[in-house]
Amino acid sequence: MRTKMGQGYELLLIKDREHGMYHQLNVKHSFGFLWSYRGGSVGMPIDSEVLLSFQGGGATIGKYLHYYYVGQLNDPQISRLQIRWYDGFQQEAEIKDGLYQAARTVRITKDDELQSGDDKLFAYDENGQLLYELDRERREIRSDTDKSE
């Protein structure tokens, strides 16, 4: 999966079946065919016991703040994921093969700094019923724990 971010930056989420991991990369696509690495996360294990996870981060590159969230979902009831960012902006996350991603870029103003304190992930079923809500304090729901915690 890839998500366009700002001035030519894209966020890639790679599922590594051989090693049972997934990876997030931030790259720049120059001249229509060259890719250059700009940063990313270390591999995160794929765990079938994780019903939903909420991992993310951000970076300042030039005059832009680049934010991303990635994670896995193994609850077949989940049909839609939505991120509510710290400033109230809402965005649908792309879901594919048990993983998801969402990314956004914000131009820096003189008062901006990298923020993520109030970001939330909402998981819905096909009828629009809220199944889970994750945030900075609660980043994961596991099948071996009580879902109502």
pLDDT digits (tens, 9 = 90+) for 61-97: 778 777 888 889 999 999 999 999 988 899 999 898 8
CA of residue 83 relative to chain centroid, distance:
9
pLDDT (0 to 100) of residue 118: 85
The predicted model scores a pTM of: 0.75
Rounded (5°) CA angle 1-90-56: 50
Which is nearest to 24 in space by CA: 66, 52, 86?
66
pLDDT (0 to 100) of residue 102: 86
Measured distance CA(115)–CA(106) in Å, rounded? 11
pLDDT (0 to 100) of residue 24: 62
Contact 88, 110 (CB under 8 A): no
Residues of the chain predicted below pLDDT 50: 6-10, 147-149
pLDDT (0 to 100) of residue 86: 85
